[in-house]
Amino acid sequence: MAIDYDKIMSLETKNQEFSYSDRETMLYGLGIGFGKDPLNNEELKFVYERDLKTVPSMATVISWGAGNMRESGINYLLVLHGEQRLKMYEPLPHAADILVDSSVKGVFDKGKEKGALIITETDIKLKESEKLLCTLSSTTFARGDGGFGGPSDGAPAPHSIPERKSDDEFFADTEPNQALIYRLCGDRNPLHSDPEIAKAAGFDVPILHGLCTYGTACRTIISNICNYDSTLIEEFNVRFSSPVYPGEKISTEIWSDDNVISFRCWVRDRNVMVLNNGKCVLKK
């Protein structure tokens, strides 16, 4: 069934209620790799309730399932997460009751054989004060839904990586059971846990969640660029390129230009780029 442009553009939800506690905050920290050294006091602050800190990228899981994109009519068997963008206005509390607004901001027809791009936006607010904490923007690549006759141009342009050699490169290990931990943050797609389903999808073993790779890149920048001060991050945007297998080492190339950090991530052992067009904006 072809995309109904007017219907999908009208999809929105207002003031959906969610809650999370310090337990979810600590689980997310563990899920993206903080706490590997339990004697590292800086990492401990992301996985232990004493002086608990939050990671900005946790915004991607605290309202898991928000919105009503299931009513869009797209073929979810052929859907990929293309891009993830995050704008922070206030640091996330380590526990909160929140209100979530979600809407579709754009749908772009790339052609019958090339699919469609769907841009959704999510605002997360504190329930008590309705103070806006952050805005998430996501690009979904619906591979089986092109050719519906909608506009072809206007999707957000990806951030350009500088042409010069990177200024630095940092490495982050993932664990063989990383996806089994991370899936408890909300995304229980069996592609990340069930070997038989992974094989049916064309993978030798279950793959790591793209948003776990996203969070791992955020952890790398917090640890190596921000001196563990996660409140410095104002924006964190990426384009997903290729999956990571749990247990692989992720290499993050860094370009620093004033308060803008450009980055991309690789699995060097396979010479595969897994995140591209990364942009992290820090507070001046």
CATH superfamily, domain 168-282, is: Hotdog Thioesterase (3.10.129.10)
Q: Give strand pairing partners of 27.
A: none
| 5-142 and 168-282: identical CATH topology | yes
Whether 209 is catalytic = no
Three-state DSSP state, 195: helix
CATH number of 5-142: 3.10.129.10
Euclidean distance between CA atoms 251 and 233, whole angstroms: 20
Per the annotation, the verdict on 210 as an active-site residue is yes
**Sign of the CA dihedral running 122, 83, 201, 243:** negative
132 Cβ neighbours under 8 A, 6+ residues apart: 89, 90, 123, 124, 125
Give the Å distances, CA to CA, from 66 to 122, 249, 271, 283: 8, 31, 35, 29
With beta carbons less than 8 A apart as the criterion, state whether 18 and 63 touch: yes
Which is nearest to 273 in space by CA: 225, 250, 241? 241
Spot the catalytic one: 119, 207, 225, 233: 207
The catalytic position among 192, 225, 233, 261 is: 192
Round to whole Å and give the CA distance between 178 and 38. Answer: 17
Q: Check if 98 is active-site.
A: no
Where exactly are the structural domains of the chain?
A: 5-142, 168-282
Which residue in 31, 115, 210, 278 is the catalytic one? 210
Q: What is the pLDDT along the chain (284 residues), one digit of tens a residue?
A: 578 899 999 999 999 999 999 999 999 999 999 999 999 999 999 999 999 999 999 999 999 988 877 777 788 777 889 999 999 999 999 999 999 999 999 999 999 889 999 999 999 999 999 999 999 999 999 988 898 888 989 888 999 999 999 999 999 999 999 999 999 999 999 999 999 999 998 899 999 999 999 999 999 999 999 999 999 999 999 999 999 999 999 999 999 999 999 999 999 999 999 999 999 999 98
Concerning whether 204 is annotated as a catalytic residue, the answer is: no
Q: Give the integer Cα–Cα distance in Å for 164 and 31.
A: 33
Residue 32 and residue 58: Cα distance in Å, rounded?
Answer: 10
pTM (2 d.p.): 0.95
Dist. CA 169–CA 249, nearest whole Å: 13
